[in-house]
Structure 1
Amino acid sequence: MEPWFLRYPLSLLQTTPDLLNGALIITAAITAALTIVGVAGVYRGSLTKYDDAHFQSKSEMRKNKMIADITGNGFIYGKLGSPNSDKPYVSADPDRFPHAIMIAPTGRGKGVGFVKPNMLHHGGSAVVLDVKGDIFKDTSVHRSKGLGNKVWYFSPFDYVDHPSPDGKRSTGRVTRTHRFNPLARIAQMTSTDEQYTALNTLADLFLVVEGDSAKSFYQAGKRLFVACCLFAIEQDKPTLGYASEVMGGGGSRADNYRQHAELTNIPIVARTLIEMADETQKILDSYISVINGAGFELWNDPSVVRATSESDFDFATFRSDQQTLYVVVQPEHLTTLAPLIRLLFADAIASLQRREPDKDEPYTVMFLMDEFDQLGKQPLVLNSIKTIRSYGGRYFIVSQTVPGLDLIYGEAGRRSLLGGAGIQIFMTPQDDRTAEVISTSLGKHTIVSKSESQRRIKDLDDSANVSRKSEERPLISSSEILRFPLDDVLILPEGQYPIKAKHIRYYEDRHFGPIDKARQAHPLPFPKLDHERKKVVPKLSTVATNTGTTPENTGDTEKGEFIEEVQVNFAKMSARATRASGPRKPPTAAKSAGNL
C-alpha cells in the first residue's frame, strides 16, 4: 500500500481544497508528535530542587563582610589558610556580631586557635575565666604592655611561698590574689530597699538549688540570707564572710538572731531574724543547710573569706579605663569555686547594665567564659545575651558539648544561647548529639542520583533505561562531622551560609607569633605580695595571766597592741559567760592559765 500522500496527484490536491487541508492537518499532527517524542528522548524534564546550602566562597565572604582587617576590633574566628600564611582572617564587625559561642571538646586547640588570639587582639577591657592559668601566662603581658590594660589576677586558691623582706627565705604559704567583694557594689546604694532588691537578685544569680525537696526550703532560706547580708552592710562589715557568721554563728542561733534583731534599724531585717528565731531548730537548720548547699558554704573557707573581704577593682570603671581581670582557677577547684565565679560574672554584668555608657566610657568589655557548662546555670548571661551589647558588653562563650549545655539550660535555653550569640563556631566533636546539631545547623543541599536498568534483547544488543531523581541531603552528615579534619573549623554566621576555615595557631601566626615572642622577655603581672610581718597571736593563757601588760613593756609595740585588743575581747567573753551562768567566784589567774 502506498503512503497516503502519494495516493493523490498534486493537480487533484490543488483543485480540491478540502482534501488539501485534511492532508496538511494530518501532516502537521504527525510532525508535532514526532517532535515531542524526540525532545522527550533528549530532555527528561526538570527535577525538584531543594535547599542549596553550601560553604561560602571568598567572594561571598567579602560581600557578607566576613573578612576583616586585623586592625578591626571584631572577634577572630579562623583563617583562610595555614597558620603562617598571609591569608586573611575570618572576622566581622563587632556592631553586627558582638558575641560568639564556640563548642569544641578538649584537645581541639580552642585555646591556641580562638581564646588566646582574641585575648591578644581585642582592645578594650576583658573579664576572663582562665582554667589552668595558661591564658594569663600567655596573654597578660601583651594586654598590659601592648594594649595598655591594667591587669588584675583573682585566684583565691593560688598558694605560694611568702618571702621574707630580704627575699632569702619563706615565711609561710599565702594566697596570691587580688580581691573581689561581691557586696561592695550593693553597699554603695543609699536605699535599704534598693539594697534588699539587689541582694534578692544576687542570691538567685549564684545560688543553685538541686532537688525538689531542697527547693521547698529555698525561699525562706533566701530571705534569711538576704537579711544577714543587709545586716552585715548596716554594721559596716559588708562581706559575705561576715554574713555567713551572722547566719551560722555559734551557740544558740535563735538567741543570736534575737540579739541581731535588737541591733538593726532595718525593719525587714529585724522581722526576718525574729521569725527565724521562732522556728524550730530542725526547720531553721534545714533553711541554712539548703542555702549552704546551694553555694554559700564556700564562705566557710578562710581563703575565700580573705579573697572576698575587699575589692581591689571596680567593674563600674571597666568601660572608662582599659582593664583585664583574669579569674584563674585550677580544674580540680572549678566545681568548688563555681558559686564565686558565677557571682563575679553576675556582678560584672550587673555593673554594666546599671546604665548605658557615657561619652567618656569608650571601651567595650569582653566576657570570655571558658568551660561555660561547668559553672552551673548563669541566668543573667542567658537573659542578657540579646541586650548587653547596648551596655558595652560582648560575650565569648566556650563549651565542650551540646549535651553539656542541655543538661544545665535545657534544649530551649541552649537554643536561645546559640541564637543570641550570632556566630557559632564548631570544631570536630566527639559525641553523636553534638554532631547531629552541627549537621542540622549547616543545612541541606540538593543532589541528583541516577539509576540504570538493562534488558538483553539479543546476544549483541543491549537495551538500557536510565532514570534520574533529585534528593535532599545534609551538607555534611553527622557521621562525616565526627571525622571532620581537626585543623578545620565550621563558622555559622546568623543569616548566612556556613564558612569552612582553618583554625589559628597563634604562636606560628605571622601577626600573633611575634607578639608571643616579645612577651616572653617580661615578667608576669602577678599581684605583689605583702611583706609586712604577720601579727603574732598570743596564747589565751598569756592574755589571762598578763593583766596589766602594756604595749610599752612587751618590747614589741605591734604585739603589745594586739595583746591589749585580745585582752579586752577576753574580758568581754568572760563577762558574758558570768552573766549566763549566774554569780560565781572568778578563778585566779594562775588557775585560769593552768586550765588553758
Structure 2
Amino acid sequence: MIKFFKKLNAGQKVFISIIFSFGLFIAYCLTSVILTFIYMPDVALHGKKIKRIFQLIHSAYDYFSLKTPYLALMAGEVKTTILSALAALFIMLIVLLLLAGLLVIAQKQRKERELHGTAKWSTINEIKSQKLMEEKGILVGLYNEKPLFFGGQEFCSLGAPTRSGKGTGIVIPNLMCWEDSLVVLDIKQECFDYTSKYRRDILGQDVFLFNPFSEYTHRYNPLLYLDFNDPKVELQIQNIANSFYISKDNDFFVGEGKSIFIAITYLFGVFYHNGYLGDDYTLTNVGGALNGINIIKNGQKEKISLELATETAYLLGWLPDTVYNLFLSFFSQKEAEKQFTGVKTAYETALKPFQNRVIKNSTSQNDFDFRDLRRRKMTIYLVINPEDLVSARPIINLFFTQLIDTNIAQGLPDQNPELKHPCLLGMDEFTSIGYMEKYEVSVSFIAGYDLRSLIIYQADSQIKNDKPLGYGEKGGSTLLQNHTCNIFYRPKETKVAEEISKRIGNITTKSYGRSFGAKSNSRSENTAAKALILPQEIMDLKMDEEIILCNNIKIKCKKANYFSTPFLIEKFKLVSSTLRNVNGNPSESDYKKAVQNNELAIQLPELKAIDDDIF
C-alpha cells in the first residue's frame, strides 16, 4: 500500500486524501446516529406503527449531536462506542456493495443498448463545441432559427442534386454574410447579379468580375504574375503550361508543344521586362510567336523571327541554358516536316482561344491582384456562361492555380503582418470545371494560409469520376475527406440516401417475445440495429431542410435560404428600394424584379477594343 501511494502524483494523493477523510467523516456521523438511538430517553409512542416510526426519528433528530461518540467515551461506554463504529462501517460497506452492483448492472445494460450503435442528433452544446455557432464563418444552416456559422479554418462541402436550392441556401447567403475576402466560381453570373452591390456598398470591399468571354468584365493576365527575379520562374511558367497542355497517355506532340510554350513564354518575358518587347506580354501574343516577335529597336517596332530573337536573348545572357536547349530541340525538328507540323499544331491549338478578340481583350492586363486577397478585403466573381464551360476549363484551371500559388508564395499569416484577412473560395458547380491538379494537391495545407474551401457539387460520383472530368476514386475521396463540414439536401437517388443514413449511424432497439408451452411460458428479449434516420426519411426531407455532418456532430436543421431568413432579407433591403417597399417578406419574384432593375449589382466596365490583328 505504501509503495502504491508513493507512485501517485501530487494531485492523485490529494484526491485520495480527500475521499478518505470524507469517508471517515461519514462513518463518524453514522456512529453518532447509532449512539443517539441507543442512549436517547424513552419516548412515549402513540398511534399506528408507521406513525410511531416517524415519532422515533423526530425524537432522534432532537437528541442528535456530533458530540455523542465523545460523550459516550467520556462516560466509559467504550465497548458500545466501538461496536457502534463497527456497525457504521458495516453499513457503509453494504451501501458501497449495493452501489457497485447497481453500477455493474447499469454498465451491462448500457453495453446492451450500445450493441448495435448509439447514434444521436447533437445537442446545442455539442454543436457549439465544433465551432458551428460562431459569430462569423461559413453560413451552413439554421438551428432553432439561429444561424449556424462554421468558424475556424476547416473546409465545408455541399452535395445536392440540381434544382435543390444550392444557390439560394448556401452560395448567395454566404456572399451576403462572409465579411472577408471571397472568390466565387459564378456559373451564369447569378451570384454577381444578386450580391455584388452589397459586398461593395455595405461591406466596403473592392469588387471585380472576370468573364473571359464577355466585353463587360475586369481583366486578368496570368503572364503578369511571373516573377523573373525569382530563380523558380521556369516552374511558374510550367504551372501555366500544365493548365493548357494536358497530355493523355504521354502524347509526344502535346509534350513538345508544352516545352516550346515554356521556352517562348520565358523569351517574351525577358524581352518585356528589359523594355524591348514591341507587344503586350499576353497569351495572345505568345500564341502567335511562331510567326515572329515584335521587338523595340532604335525606338521603333520591328518584327524578327523566333530564331533570331532566341539567339539575341541568349547572347545577351537573358536565357538560361535550360530554356535555350528547349529552343534548340524545337528548331532541330524542322528537318522532320511532319513531326515539326505536329508539334506546331499542338502548341498553337492549346492557345487558340486567346486569338479570339474578346478573350484577347479580357486577358490583356490585370485589374485585380491575387496578392491583395489577404492584404485587403476584396471579392472576385469568376463568371463563366454554361455554353463556354468546355472552352473555359484551361483558363479556370489557371486562374485558381495562380491564385493558390501567389498566396502560398506570400507566406503564412503569422510570418507576414500584411496578411490580415482570410479568403473563402466559393466553388459553385465545382465539378463542372473538371480536374484541377493544384486544388487536389493543395487542399490539404492551404487552410494554414487562411484560404478556406467551400465546394458545391451534385454528387460524390461526379467528384470521383475519372480524370480529367473528375478527380478519380482515390483523389475524389481525399478531396472530400479534407472538407470537414458536409451538408446534404434531399437526394433524388436511393443509393445516396442510403450512404448518408449509413454515415449518420444506428441506434440499438429492443424487442420482446413470449412463447407458450404445455407446462411453462417463456419470455425473450432481442436487440437489433436501426438507423437513426432511415434512407426513406432522408428522401422525404422537406425542401427547406438539410442534414449537416461535421466531425462527430450530426444535425438535422433548416436551410438558410436568402429569401426566407429574416437577417438575410434585411441585408438585401439595405441596397434595394424594390425590396424595402415590399410589405412582409419579399418573394422570389420580388428579388428577380430587383435584379432586373439593377438594384443588387454594380456596374461593370466595358472593355475598349485593343489591336484586333490576329496572328
The question of a shared fold, defined as TM-score above 0.5 by the shorter chain, is answered with: yes
Partner of 2:276: none
Partner of 2:18: none
Cα 1:371–1:289 change in 2 (3 A) is farther
| 1:118 pairs with 2:184 | no
C-alpha distance in structure 1 between counterparts of 2:123 and 2:384, whole Å? 41
Partner of 1:131: 187
The answer to whether the Cα contact below 8 Å between 1:129 and 1:370 also exists between their aligned partners in 2 is yes
The answer to whether the Cα contact below 8 Å between 2:131 and 2:152 also exists between their aligned partners in 1 is no
C-alpha distance in structure 2 between counterparts of 1:203 and 1:535, whole Å? 25
Partner of 1:515: 571
Partner of 1:578: none
| Structure 1 SS opposite 2:525 | strand
C-alpha distance in structure 2 between counterparts of 1:61 and 1:242, whole Å? 55
The answer to whether the Cα contact below 8 Å between 1:101 and 1:423 also exists between their aligned partners in 2 is yes
Cα 1:535–1:510 change in 2 (3 A) is closer
C-alpha distance in structure 1 between counterparts of 2:348 and 2:514, whole Å? 71
| 1:524 pairs with 2:597 | no
Partner of 2:281: 238
C-alpha distance in structure 2 between counterparts of 1:101 and 1:434, whole Å? 15
| 1:375 pairs with 2:441 | no
Instruction: Tell me how far 1:525 sits from its aligned partner.
Output: 1.9
CA displacement, residues 312-349 of structure 1 (integer Å, 9 cap, x when unaligned): 11111121111111111211112221211111111111
Instruction: Tell me how far 1:480 sits from its aligned partner.
Output: 4.3
C-alpha distance in structure 2 between counterparts of 1:116 and 1:233, whole Å? 40
The answer to whether the Cα contact below 8 Å between 2:257 and 2:344 also exists between their aligned partners in 1 is yes
Cα 1:292–1:112 change in 2 (3 A) is farther
Which amino acid in structure 2 is aligned with residue 178 of structure 1?
H
C-alpha distance in structure 2 between counterparts of 1:536 and 1:89, whole Å? 51
The answer to whether the Cα contact below 8 Å between 1:76 and 1:90 also exists between their aligned partners in 2 is yes
Cα 1:56–1:48 change in 2 (3 A) is closer
Partner of 1:421: 483
Which amino acid in structure 1 is aligned with residue 602 of structure 2?
P
| Structure 2 SS opposite 1:274 | helix
Partner of 2:50: none
CA displacement, residues 125-162 of structure 1 (integer Å, 9 cap, x when unaligned): 1111111111111111110011110011111223xxxx
C-alpha distance in structure 2 between counterparts of 1:423 and 1:264, whole Å? 52
Cα 1:249–1:284 change in 2 (3 A) is farther
| 1:182 pairs with 2:234 | no
Cα 1:215–1:374 change in 2 (3 A) is farther
Partner of 1:221: 257
Given candidates 272, 287, 307, the residue that maps to 2:326 is 272
Cα 1:413–1:247 change in 2 (3 A) is farther
Cα 1:486–1:242 change in 2 (3 A) is same
| 1:401 pairs with 2:459 | yes
Cα 1:288–1:451 change in 2 (3 A) is farther
Instruction: Tell me how far 1:274 sits from its aligned partner.
Output: 2.4
Cα 1:449–1:382 change in 2 (3 A) is farther
Alignment root-mean-square deviation, CA: 3.0
Cα 1:536–1:329 change in 2 (3 A) is closer
C-alpha distance in structure 1 between counterparts of 2:341 and 2:513, whole Å? 74
Partner of 1:486: 543
The answer to whether the Cα contact below 8 Å between 1:221 and 1:287 also exists between their aligned partners in 2 is yes
Instruction: Tell me how far 1:397 sits from its aligned partner.
Output: 0.9
Instruction: Tell me how far 1:228 sits from its aligned partner.
Output: 1.7
Which amino acid in structure 1 is aligned with residue 324 of structure 2?
A
C-alpha distance in structure 2 between counterparts of 1:326 and 1:319, whole Å? 16
**Structure 1 residues without counterparts, runs of 5 or longer:** 1-38, 82-86, 159-174, 538-565, 567-596
Instruction: Tell me how far 1:195 sits from its aligned partner.
Output: 1.4
Q: Taking structure 2 as the reference length, what is the TM-score of the superposition?
A: 0.68
Given candidates 207, 232, 251, the residue that maps to 2:244 is 207
Which amino acid in structure 1 is aligned with residue 221 of structure 2?
N
Which amino acid in structure 1 is aligned with residue 417 of structure 2?
K
Given candidates 387, 411, 424, the residue that maps to 1:332 is 387
Partner of 1:412: 474
| Structure 2 SS opposite 1:491 | strand
| Structure 1 SS opposite 2:482 | helix
Deviates more, 1:476-485 or 1:415-424: 476-485
**Structure 2 residues without counterparts, runs of 5 or longer:** 1-104, 273-279, 294-303, 578-598
C-alpha distance in structure 2 between counterparts of 1:535 and 1:190, whole Å? 29
Which amino acid in structure 1 is aligned with residue 322 of structure 2?
I
Partner of 1:576: none
| Structure 2 SS opposite 1:126 | strand
Partner of 2:143: 80
| Structure 1 SS opposite 2:380 | strand
CA displacement, residues 156-201 of structure 1 (integer Å, 9 cap, x when unaligned): 223xxxxxxxxxxxxxxxx111100111111x3314x421111112
Identity of aligned residues (%): 25
Instruction: Tell me how far 1:257 sits from its aligned partner.
Output: 4.5
CA displacement, residues 6-28 of structure 1 (integer Å, 9 cap, x when unaligned): xxxxxxxxxxxxxxxxxxxxxxx
Partner of 1:308: 363
Instruction: Tell me how far 1:421 sits from its aligned partner.
Output: 1.4
The answer to whether the Cα contact below 8 Å between 1:450 and 1:467 also exists between their aligned partners in 2 is yes
Partner of 1:156: 212
Which amino acid in structure 2 is aligned with residue 488 of structure 1?
E
C-alpha distance in structure 2 between counterparts of 1:404 and 1:248, whole Å? 42
C-alpha distance in structure 2 between counterparts of 1:341 and 1:180, whole Å? 11
Instruction: Tell me how far 1:107 sits from its aligned partner.
Output: 1.1
C-alpha distance in structure 2 between counterparts of 1:332 and 1:298, whole Å? 14
CA displacement, residues 86-115 of structure 1 (integer Å, 9 cap, x when unaligned): x211223224x3x21111111111111111
Partner of 1:549: none
